[in-house]
Amino acid sequence: MNEIHVLDKHTIDKIAAGEVVERPLNVVKELMENSIDAGATMLSVEIRDGGISLIRITDNGSGIEKEQIRKAFLRHSTSKIRNAEDLSFVTSLGFRGEALSSIAAVSKVELCTKVNDSLTGTIFKMSGGEELSLEDAGLPDGTTVIVKDLFYNTPARLKFLKSAQTEAGYILDMVNKIALSHPDISIKFTSNGSVKLSTSGNGDLKDAIYAVFGREITSHLLPISRDSEDVCLSGYLAKPEVARANRNFELFFVNGRYVRDPIISSAIEEGYKGYQMKGSFPFTVLNIRIEPELMDVNVHPSKMEIRFFDNERVYSFIRDAVLSVLTERESIPSFTIGKDEKPKQENAYASNPISHPEPFETERIIRETTIYPEKNSVEISEPVFEQQTIHEVTFLSEDARKHHRLIGEIFDTYWLVEFDDSLYVIDQHAAHEKVLYESFMHRLKKDEHYSQNLMPALIVTLSPAEETTLRKILMPLQEIGFEISHYGGSEYAISAVPADLYTMDESSLFLSFLDEMSTVKTNISSDVLQDRIATAACKAAVKGGNRLTFHEADQLIDQLLSLDNPYNCPHGRPTILTMSRYELERKFKRIVS
């Protein structure tokens, strides 16, 4: 049997450092959070070589008393909590008491600090966890932490780091998140002498979003503000047209801390459901304030995961708040013909994924981006967004409807409406699809279902697998208007279908339900059922190329405009686009400005 050893302090500190400091990103995050907790209103972050050779964090916070400095570098020393009970009421960002100790164990650290009412400051130096010096010095108020040669004494860990460019990308990502979560703090980030981010610290979240993402996204924001007894929500939602292919731009901060949480993500996406294409994800920057005793932030060492004690309550609150903002807006995408000059982004990160990108993605971003330090701006080699804006209108109001001028149809698919110096283009298929879907869902929610009898009944032959699926979903199908009975052997008779879906091939409709539900292992959820209804509505809707009369088109427009959300089909595609008279005349060079 191998002999059991008690590890020495030096080895213990290095092991502990590995849990807290995996890469330069962790050092910057921990030190920035300490600065914020110290009450800083200005924060400067400087790195070189991706933070490997140098990290310098300077703040104007409260500083550290000389006699407290050595204690601050001990493991599990913290000013944020005193005992286990305090973990239930943590409101600060850093509280584990391992950051400075862990950082000092694997680097060369210099701490320069001065408290406001002291005549002099103090410079404290460590290397590899060992103290080198503690001296008085003339310093400004606040704290500067300089970290050099990260992992110089743990070369194995150094080998696991990515390229300096990639590590710098990780840090920029995190600094941007902190800037968005604390718009009241002026933050400047510099990498290899080049300024990558500079925020004003004026407390305006929209200004911080502009600094990070640039003009295009900022121009498509919708403010949100909702309060309940113990949960408050504020921030901005992007209009559904600003869609993303992943969840990297779903940014939310709980009590000032950036977190990743499936409950919040699901609530946001449910709120956007019906306003955004299926498979795309929204852009949001949300601040959520919740009473500390209603959640647990001590779930993971990274402090990026939380646990709510009442998931359903938080989910419903956020979903309803998002949905109410999107429902209140009346906006239609505006299209242009041809490409104009590309807009410049004010920040190099404006088009980059907000969560940690893969190494090749970060390097691609850096390679395709030309940075102009003197202007603090960049040019992107490809346009990031369509030349598409949102036209705020009263086109869908009851009064405006009286002034619509239905002027014609193109390609047997799109109807043209003139109103208020603008041209509106309505997709007849998307519009009809939405009318059918909303009608069906309205009856479903009110438990009002109407069936259309089939004369004669439709006889379908099912495989054993399809029969198994039918038995599982028979009751939900009957609840929405199907009438199905066993006809004999493997044959079944469909004597009625939902009235709203009567216009399509009844056999295809029924079999499509069976195919979709065959993969469902448990009871059918309302989400699955609604997705199938959306697909059925799509199949039942009038197709492009099927000509409508002016009267039919006019009726369809009336039905569309009566809906709560007439802007998108059930799958999120737009039903209406618009082009202003000004834009049209500019394209014909009647206006040259």
Do residues 115 and 64 lie in contact, with contact meaning Cβ atoms separated by under 8 Å?
yes
Q: Which of 45, 50, 57, 56 is nearest to 24 (CA)?
A: 50
Top pLDDT among 132 and 436 is at 132
Non-local CB neighbours of 117 within 8 Å, separated by 6+ positions: none
> In the structure, what pLDDT confidence band is assigned to residue 381 with cuts at 50, 70 and 90?
very low
Q: Where are the alpha helices (DSSP H) in 214-332?
A: 215-218, 262-272, 311-328
Separation between Cα atoms, residue 370 and residue 380, nearest integer Å = 7
Separation between Cα atoms, residue 313 and residue 268, nearest integer Å = 14
Residue 406 has pLDDT above 60, yes or no: yes
pLDDT at 504: 62
Do residues 589 and 583 lie in contact, with contact meaning Cβ atoms separated by under 8 Å?
no
> In the structure, what pLDDT confidence band is assigned to residue 331 with cuts at 50, 70 and 90?
low
> In the structure, what pLDDT confidence band is assigned to residue 476 with cuts at 50, 70 and 90?
confident
pLDDT at 532: 67
> In the structure, what pLDDT confidence band is assigned to residue 236 with cuts at 50, 70 and 90?
very high
> In the structure, what pLDDT confidence band is assigned to residue 565 with cuts at 50, 70 and 90?
confident
Separation between Cα atoms, residue 550 and residue 408, nearest integer Å = 8
pLDDT at 59: 96
Top pLDDT among 8 and 144 is at 144
pLDDT at 439: 77
pLDDT at 506: 66
> In the structure, what pLDDT confidence band is assigned to residue 3 with cuts at 50, 70 and 90?
low
Separation between Cα atoms, residue 325 and residue 327, nearest integer Å = 5
Do residues 209 and 217 lie in contact, with contact meaning Cβ atoms separated by under 8 Å?
yes
The single-letter DSSP state of residue 86 is: G
Non-local CB neighbours of 527 within 8 Å, separated by 6+ positions: none
| Across 99-108, 139-148, 203-212, 506-515, least confident range | 506-515
Domains with residue ranges and CATH for the chain: 9-161 (3.30.565.10), 201-388 (3.30.230.10), 398-577 (3.30.1540.20)
- When mean pLDDT is compared over 351-360, 417-426, 431-440, the highest value belongs to 417-426
Separation between Cα atoms, residue 322 and residue 32, nearest integer Å = 31
pLDDT at 9: 57
> In the structure, what pLDDT confidence band is assigned to residue 98 with cuts at 50, 70 and 90?
low
Q: Which of 169, 141, 115, 144 is nearest to 57 (CA)?
A: 144
Give the three-state DSSP class for 111: strand
295-296/257-258 β-pairing? unpaired
> In the structure, what pLDDT confidence band is assigned to residue 136 with cuts at 50, 70 and 90?
very high
Non-local CB neighbours of 247 within 8 Å, separated by 6+ positions: 265, 281, 355
| Across 178-192, 333-347, 470-484, least confident range | 333-347
Separation between Cα atoms, residue 188 and residue 439, nearest integer Å = 53
Separation between Cα atoms, residue 460 and residue 437, nearest integer Å = 26
Separation between Cα atoms, residue 174 and residue 195, nearest integer Å = 15
Do residues 235 and 205 lie in contact, with contact meaning Cβ atoms separated by under 8 Å?
yes
Angle at 253 between CA 252 and CA 255, to 5 degrees: 150
Give the three-state DSSP class for 137: strand
Q: Which residue(s) pair with 289 in the sheet?
A: 232
What's the average model confidence in pLDDT over 546-550?
81
Residue 446 has pLDDT above 80, yes or no: no
Separation between Cα atoms, residue 275 and residue 531, nearest integer Å = 14
What's the average model confidence in pLDDT over 449-457?
82
Separation between Cα atoms, residue 236 and residue 205, nearest integer Å = 8
Residue 18 has pLDDT above 50, yes or no: no
> In the structure, what pLDDT confidence band is assigned to residue 243 with cuts at 50, 70 and 90?
confident
Do residues 281 and 250 lie in contact, with contact meaning Cβ atoms separated by under 8 Å?
yes
Q: Which residue(s) pair with 183 in the sheet?
A: none
Widest CA span of the chain, in angstroms? 97
Residue 342 has pLDDT above 50, yes or no: no
Residue 1 has pLDDT above 80, yes or no: no
Residue 321 has pLDDT above 80, yes or no: yes
Of the chain, the percentage scoring pLDDT greater than 70 comes to 73
> In the structure, what pLDDT confidence band is assigned to residue 225 with cuts at 50, 70 and 90?
very high
Non-local CB neighbours of 303 within 8 Å, separated by 6+ positions: 93, 96, 257, 259, 297
Do residues 61 and 33 lie in contact, with contact meaning Cβ atoms separated by under 8 Å?
no
Q: CA–CA distance from 564 to each of 329, 433, 589 (Å)?
A: 10, 14, 38
pLDDT at 435: 85
pLDDT at 86: 44
Q: Which helix (H) or strand (E) segment is 390 a member of? A: strand 389-392
pTM: 0.67
pLDDT at 298: 55
- When mean pLDDT is compared over 119-128, 305-314, 322-331, 488-497, the highest value belongs to 119-128
What's the average model confidence in pLDDT over 196-224?
93
Transcribe 142-180 into DSSP letters.
Answer: EEEEEEESTTTT-HHHHHTS--HHHHHHHHHHHHHHHHH
> Could you check whether the bond before residue 456 is cis, i.e. omega within 30 degrees of 0?
yes
Separation between Cα atoms, residue 146 and residue 100, nearest integer Å = 11
Residue 77 has pLDDT above 60, yes or no: no
**Residues recorded for the chain:** 593
In this structure, what are the phi and psi dihedrals at residue 555, rounded to the nearest 5 degrees? Answer: -65, -40
> Could you check whether the bond before residue 343 is cis, i.e. omega within 30 degrees of 0?
no
Residue 369 has pLDDT above 50, yes or no: no
Do residues 113 and 127 lie in contact, with contact meaning Cβ atoms separated by under 8 Å?
no
